[in-house]
Amino acid sequence: MNSIIVSHDYKNWLTELKSKIRQSQIKASIKVNTEMLRMYWDMGHDIATKQLDAKWGSGFFNQLSRDSHKEFPKMQGFSVSNLKYIKRFYLFYSEDDTIRQQVADELGSPLFNIPWWHHVTLLTKCKTSKEALFYIQQTLANGWSRNVLLNMLDTGMYEAQGKALTTFKKISCELAR
């Protein structure tokens, strides 16, 4: 038997190496997600503004989907429904001046730090971008999967926490009197 394979030093080094490789894979995945979301933001902006400027009909998303698939056949994300979500992503978050300015200033907006399907979930479940931003911050702070996010949305965590803060402020004011 090869002595290097049973060596304690080798096994420890191999364990460290595996950990470094996994960490690098995670970092690369996060970077890819961030860049994809930035592309989706820009694409959403372009779609929203070009649709206002031009008289593109109802077949626009179908045509864009076909043309994008033709040009990038191995790339996913150009279905008609996803293109509509991309536009909605931009419009939903750009209605909030604070978020829009953060993105414009490239300040590391939290928008770009969660996975795309988390955003799709938020777009379909949240009433306002302020509510969605609350869930984004909670997701980042707690490492929520999409299933956990869905659960928190279904239980109304945003509303419950808002009520708790309001009640706390009310009690604090009464105690201060």
Is pLDDT above 90 for 106? no
- For residues 136 and 114, the answer to whether their CB atoms sit within 8 Å is yes
Residue 177 lies in a domain: yes
Three-state DSSP class for 145? coil
The pLDDT of residue 146: 95
pTM confidence score = 0.78
Residue 63 lies in a domain: no
Cα 61 to Cα 88: distance, rounded to the nearest angstrom: 13
Residues 6+ apart with CB under 8 A from 92: 123, 129, 132
Of the listed ranges 65-79, 86-100, 137-151, the least confidently predicted one is 86-100
Closest CA relative to residue 38, chosen from 133, 112, 132, 118:
112
Segment 120-133 shows an average pLDDT of 94
Residue 16 lies in a domain: no
Greater confidence (67 vs 1) lies with 67
Is pLDDT above 60 for 173? no
Cα 57 to Cα 16: distance, rounded to the nearest angstrom: 56
- The burial of 47, by beta-carbon neighbours within 10 Å (0-12 exposed, 13-18 middle, 19 or more buried), is given as buried
Give me the residue label for tokens 């996913």.
76
Split at pLDDT 50, 70, 90, the class of 107 is very low
Is pLDDT above 60 for 172? no
Residue 173 lies in a domain: yes
Render pLDDT for 36-91 as a digit per residue (tens, 0 to 9).
999 999 999 999 988 877 777 778 999 999 999 999 999 999 999 999 999 999 99
Segment 94-117 shows an average pLDDT of 75
Token pair belonging to 26: 């995670």
Average pLDDT, the chain: 86
Give me the residue label for tokens 């400027």.
53
Residue 84 lies in a domain: no
Where in the sequence is the domain holding 174, given as residue range(s)?
Answer: 114-177
Residue 124 lies in a domain: yes
The pLDDT of residue 5: 67
Residue 152 lies in a domain: yes
Greater confidence (169 vs 145) lies with 145
The pLDDT of residue 109: 76
Residue 159 lies in a domain: yes
The pLDDT of residue 101: 67
**Total tally of structural domains belonging to the chain:** 1
